[in-house]
């Protein structure tokens, strides 16, 4: 008998039940896709609460904020307790939360700004300058590969020297300069009182390392640590978990080595293998039943992953009954025909078979593969949501407005300062740099000052003459952010910025001004009810970040819409019907991700394909165009993905689609349906 009346025995299979009810201590759940790993974690949380554990003592780490929200909602349905003290979220959000309390211990202000990719680029540019590299004289790497290099080194906890040596093919004569730029970048971040995404983890790790007493408090608090998608943690994340679990060692991690798809970002699925080395007392649980997919889908997925040499042998048995239908293979002529087929089929599923839109997903390897489909859906009025691509908060106008607030909170934020002054007419790169130096010289005097003096300090700077009146207006706007010296609420701040000077600027700067104006209103609605501007900024930064889906803030998430998503963003999710589109060789696998000398790269792409197939519950459609058109090269003939070619055609039904070219790869057409438009 338990407090909540959940019948754990009935709702879990034996292996899941054993894991859910295990005694505190390290445990590893390793199992294939759709076997209920996430469900096991959810029930584990419910079980702990059911057994009078304090919500405060639980830390739940997931890959996206959305995943953690969904899990906690599920827990709430199971056990009606107040969960506000339970910490759940991504590694980045937890790292941020801890740093906001203790950043000063490692010389960072608690009001630090979070840099996104865009900000990182401008800072990296400045770092190249600062390091005195003459990019005209030498062919120096661009900002993107530099950011990736240092990020990889942080996430794998390796010396950048080592990473340079082994992973990047930059000219060896440039190595010293590259390292110099890295140091300059670190210094600029520090001067700006800013942290990039990697810092949210790395600085947290270092802070704990240097302050064992602080670490001890967190270790004491988090008696139960649970981690989903452990196969995609990198060394730094694993190290952070190990720190936090250092005392009680009551750590449950779940994962599937066959779904590890982030090694390009430093993830290492050996973390799973090494788990039992690091925690010799760990209990290992395996789940061998798949609850998600019909047998036909599972069969195709199992066949796919069996082509990888590097994997633990895992046999997944289907729990669901056959629907007497195989996954569908649909060769189509080109991207346009593909989008027509997909849209048509989606409409039929919805209208004739009663499948809700929200039970349908279109998955692809790269965001731009979805453009045609987006257009076709729009044309036909099929509601959809795109969970990738340019995120709401990464758009220029949203970042512009956020820059005002960032500067108000953290006057040392060089990236925001420059972003803002460069908006003003009559100010170019050189005057912006000069103004920043003048501003930086005033900063020590401003430390600890109230916001109201910022506007005055701005007015004391000397912008170029032609910018004088715009400058005045700019300084007035900054003044408005703190009327009477007290910071306004986030909604008021947005209002002041837009009315103060941004509206005028945006009207001239953007052709689609109306759309952007609406976005800003949406931003205001999002901020509604928040009292603290730092809260808003943190949310903006983390929601716009690397591993978070981009739902527009004010949009109702429960809308009945089709999901369009990259496979990376679809991890851990499931839909009744899945369309995997654009399955041409070179696109999926992506030729740019492949390295002929390194078979692991192909295996990682195959794992990604495995993740794609295993998102489907009942129906799975695989489409591959025979022509692929790009803006630069026109239409090029392409072959079906090698991941399709290597599978037994009997696993699928092949459909002939309208105007498509004759099927070149399967001569057995006996049971093929005709699919006319």
Interface ranges with ligand ATP (CB under 6 A)? 12-13, 16, 31, 33-39, 256, 259, 291-292, 572, 574, 614
User: In the set 572, 582, 625, 640, which binds Mg ion (CB under 5 A)?
Assistant: 572
Provide the residue count of the chain: 677
Kindly tell me which of 37 and 615 has the beta carbon lying closer to Mg ion: 37
Minimum distance, C-beta of residue 602 to ligand ATP, in the bound complex (Å): 21
* Residues 6 or more apart whose Cβ sits within 8 Å of residue 262: 232, 234, 568
Catalytic residue among 15, 116, 199, 228: 228
Burial class (CB within 10 angstroms; exposed 0-12, middle 13-18, buried 19+) of 437: exposed
Give catalytic status of residue 37 as yes or no.
yes
Which segment (35-43, 196-204, 342-350, 529-537) binds Mg ion by CB under 5 A?
A: 35-43
Minimum distance, C-beta of residue 318 to ligand ATP, in the bound complex (Å): 11
* Residues 6 or more apart whose Cβ sits within 8 Å of residue 339: 372, 373, 375, 376
Choosing among Mg ion, ligand ATP, none, which partner's interface includes residue 13 (Cβ < 5 to 8 Å by kind)?
ligand ATP
- Asked if the peptide bond before residue 589 counts as cis, ω within 30 degrees of 0, the response is yes
Burial class (CB within 10 angstroms; exposed 0-12, middle 13-18, buried 19+) of 31: buried
In the DSSP assignment, the letter for residue 639 is: P
Kindly tell me which of 13 and 347 has the beta carbon lying closer to ligand ATP: 13
Kindly tell me which of 11 and 476 has the beta carbon lying closer to ligand ATP: 11
Q: How far apart are CA 201 and CA 156, in angstroms?
A: 12
293 makes contact with Mg ion (CB under 5 A)? no
Choosing among ligand ATP, Mg ion, none, which partner's interface includes residue 33 (Cβ < 5 to 8 Å by kind)?
ligand ATP
Q: How far apart are CA 458 and CA 439, in angstroms?
A: 8
Q: How far apart are CA 265 and CA 593, in angstroms?
A: 12
Give catalytic status of residue 614 as yes or no.
no
Kindly tell me which of 37 and 385 has the beta carbon lying closer to Mg ion: 37
Minimum distance, C-beta of residue 675 to ligand ATP, in the bound complex (Å): 29
* Residues 6 or more apart whose Cβ sits within 8 Å of residue 623: 330, 331, 332, 338, 341, 342, 579, 580, 581, 582, 583
Phi, psi of 385 (to 5 degrees): -135, 135
Kindly tell me which of 38 and 263 has the beta carbon lying closer to Mg ion: 38
Minimum distance, C-beta of residue 90 to ligand ATP, in the bound complex (Å): 15
Is residue 33 a known part of a binding site? yes
State the CB neighbour count (10 A cutoff) for residue 590.
13
> 285 has which bridge partners?
29
Choosing among ligand ATP, Mg ion, none, which partner's interface includes residue 467 (Cβ < 5 to 8 Å by kind)?
none
* Distance, CA of 96 to chain centre: 15
Give catalytic status of residue 229 as yes or no.
yes
Minimum distance, C-beta of residue 37 to Mg ion, in the bound complex (Å): 5
Structure tokens at 557: 């998430």
Kindly tell me which of 219 and 259 has the beta carbon lying closer to ligand ATP: 259
Catalytic residue among 156, 231, 259, 623: 259
Minimum distance, C-beta of residue 33 to ligand ATP, in the bound complex (Å): 4
Minimum distance, C-beta of residue 39 to Mg ion, in the bound complex (Å): 8
Report which of 546, 493, 534, 540 is spatially closest to residue 100, judged by C-alpha positions.
Answer: 534
350 makes contact with Mg ion (CB under 5 A)? no
Catalytic residue among 15, 229, 479, 534: 229
Minimum distance, C-beta of residue 493 to Mg ion, in the bound complex (Å): 39
Report which of 159, 147, 98 is spatially closest to residue 123, judged by C-alpha positions.
Answer: 147
Give catalytic status of residue 615 as yes or no.
yes
36 makes contact with Mg ion (CB under 5 A)? no
In the DSSP assignment, the letter for residue 498 is: I
38 makes contact with Mg ion (CB under 5 A)? yes
Q: How far apart are CA 355 and CA 616, in angstroms?
A: 14
Q: How far apart are CA 47 and CA 397, in angstroms?
A: 45
Choosing among Mg ion, ligand ATP, none, which partner's interface includes residue 160 (Cβ < 5 to 8 Å by kind)?
none
Is residue 35 a known part of a binding site? yes
Element holding 469 (H helix, E strand) = helix 468-480
Q: How far apart are CA 606 and CA 258, in angstroms?
A: 9
* Residues 6 or more apart whose Cβ sits within 8 Å of residue 483: none
32 makes contact with Mg ion (CB under 5 A)? no
Kindly tell me which of 37 and 516 has the beta carbon lying closer to ligand ATP: 37
Residue nearest to ligand ATP as judged by C-beta position: 36
Catalytic residue among 189, 406, 419, 615: 615
Structure tokens at 554: 């004010």
Which segment (29-37, 301-309, 443-451, 583-591) binds Mg ion by CB under 5 A?
A: 29-37
Is residue 32 a known part of a binding site? yes
In the DSSP assignment, the letter for residue 640 is: B
Choosing among ligand ATP, Mg ion, none, which partner's interface includes residue 16 (Cβ < 5 to 8 Å by kind)?
ligand ATP
Which segment (383-391, 458-466, 479-487, 571-579) binds Mg ion by CB under 5 A?
A: 571-579
Choosing among Mg ion, ligand ATP, none, which partner's interface includes residue 155 (Cβ < 5 to 8 Å by kind)?
none
Kindly tell me which of 37 and 223 has the beta carbon lying closer to Mg ion: 37
Is residue 25 a known part of a binding site? no
Report which of 228, 245, 307, 225 is spatially closest to residue 31, judged by C-alpha positions.
Answer: 228
Is residue 38 a known part of a binding site? yes
Report yes or no: 168 and 81 within 8 Å, Cβ to Cβ. no
Is residue 34 a known part of a binding site? yes
Is residue 31 a known part of a binding site? yes
Q: How far apart are CA 621 and CA 608, in angstroms?
A: 16
In the DSSP assignment, the letter for residue 626 is: S
HSE-up of residue 285 (Cα within 13 Å, Cβ side) = 25
In the DSSP assignment, the letter for residue 638 is: -
Minimum distance, C-beta of residue 50 to ligand ATP, in the bound complex (Å): 17
Catalytic residue among 15, 16, 38, 44: 38
Q: Taking the CA atoms of the chain, what radius of gyration do you get in angstroms?
A: 27
Choosing among Mg ion, ligand ATP, none, which partner's interface includes residue 292 (Cβ < 5 to 8 Å by kind)?
ligand ATP
Kindly tell me which of 398 and 611 has the beta carbon lying closer to Mg ion: 611
Which residues does the annotation mark as catalytic?
A: 37-38, 228-229, 259, 615
Which residues line the annotated binding site for ATP? 31-38
Which residues line the annotated binding site? 31-38
Residues that bind Mg ion (CB under 5 A): 37-38, 572
């Amino acid at each position: 008998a338990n407090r909540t009346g959940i019948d754990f025995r009935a709702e879990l299979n034996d292996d899941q039940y054993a894991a859910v009810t295990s005694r505190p201590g390290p445990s590893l759940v390793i199992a294939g896709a759709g076997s209920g790993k996430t469900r096991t974690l959810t029930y584990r949380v419910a079980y702990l609460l059911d057994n009078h554990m304090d919500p405060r003592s639980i830390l739940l780490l997931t890959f996206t904020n959305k995943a953690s929200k969904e899990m906690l909602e599920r827990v709430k349905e199971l056990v009606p307790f107040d969960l506000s003290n339970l910490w759940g979220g991504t590694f980045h959000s937890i790292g941020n939360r801890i740093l906001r309390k203790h950043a000063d211990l490692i010389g960072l202000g608690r009001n630090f700004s979070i840099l996104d990719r865009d900000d990182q680029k401008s800072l990296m540019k400045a770092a190249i300058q600062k390091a005195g590299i003459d990019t005209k004289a030498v062919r120096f790497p661009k900002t993107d590969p530099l950011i990736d290099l240092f990020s990889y080194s942080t996430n794998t906890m390796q010396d950048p020297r080592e990473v340079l040596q082994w992973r990047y093919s930059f000219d060896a004569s440039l190595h010293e300069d590259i390292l110099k730029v890295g140091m300059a970048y670190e210094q600029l971040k520090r001067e700006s009182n800013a942290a990039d995404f990697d810092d949210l983890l790395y600085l947290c790790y270092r802070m704990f390392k240097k302050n064992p007493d602080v670490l001890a408090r967190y270790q004491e608090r988090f008696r139960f640590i649970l981690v989903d998608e452990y196969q995609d943690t990198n060394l730094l994340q694993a190290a952070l978990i190990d720190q936090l679990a250092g005392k009680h060692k009551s750590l449950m991690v779940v994962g599937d080595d066959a779904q590890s798809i982030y090694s390009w970002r430093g993830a290492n699925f050996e973390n799973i293998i090494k788990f039992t080395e690091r925690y010799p007392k760990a209990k290992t649980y395996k789940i061998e039943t798949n609850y998600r997919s019909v047998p036909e889908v599972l069969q195709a997925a199992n066949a796919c992953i069996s082509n990888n040499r590097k994997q633990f042998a895992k046999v997944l048995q289907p729990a669901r009954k056959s629907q007497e239908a195989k996954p569908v293979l649909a060769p189509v002529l080109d991207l346009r025909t593909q989008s027509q087929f997909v849209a048509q089929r989606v409409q039929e599923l919805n209208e004739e078979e009663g499948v809700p839109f929200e039970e349908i997903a279109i998955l692809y390897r790269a965001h731009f593969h979805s453009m045609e489909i987006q257009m076709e859906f729009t044309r036909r009025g099929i509601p959809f949501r795109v969970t990738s691509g340019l995120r709401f908060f990464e758009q220029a106008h949203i970042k512009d407005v956020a820059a005002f607030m960032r500067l108000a909170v953290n006057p040392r934020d060089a990236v925001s300062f420059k972003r803002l002054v460069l908006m003003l007419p009559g100010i170019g790169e050189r005057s912006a740099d000069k103004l920043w130096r003048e501003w930086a010289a005033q900063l020590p005097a401003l430390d600890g000052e109230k916001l109201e003096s910022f506007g005055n300090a701005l007015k004391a700077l000397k912008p170029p003459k032609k910018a004088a009146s715009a400058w005045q207006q700019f300084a007035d706007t900054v003044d408005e952010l703190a009327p009477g010296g007290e910071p306004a609420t986030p909604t008021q701040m947005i209002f002041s910025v837009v009315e103060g000077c941004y509206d005028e600027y945006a009207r001239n700067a953007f052709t689609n001004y109306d759309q952007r104006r609406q976005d800003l209103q949406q931003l205001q609605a999002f901020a509604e009810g928040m009292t603290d501007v730092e809260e808003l900024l943190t949310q903006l930064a983390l929601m716009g970040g690397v591993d978070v889906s981009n739902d527009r803030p004010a949009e109702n998430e429960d809308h009945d819409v089709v999901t369009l998503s990259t496979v990376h963003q679809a991890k851990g999710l499931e839909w009744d019907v899945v369309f995997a589109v654009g399955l041409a060789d070179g696109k999926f696998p992506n030729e740019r991700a492949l390295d002929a000398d390194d078979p692991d790269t192909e295996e990682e792409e195959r794992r990604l394909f495995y993740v794609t197939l295993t998102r489907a519950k009942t129906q799975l459609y695989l489409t591959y165009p025979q022509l692929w058109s790009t803006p630069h090269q026109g239409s090029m003939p392409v072959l079906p993905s090698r991941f399709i070619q290597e599978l037994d055609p009997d696993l699928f039904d092949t459909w002939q689609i309208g105007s498509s070219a004759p099927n070149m790869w399967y001569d057995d057409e006996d049971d093929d349906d005709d699919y006319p438009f």
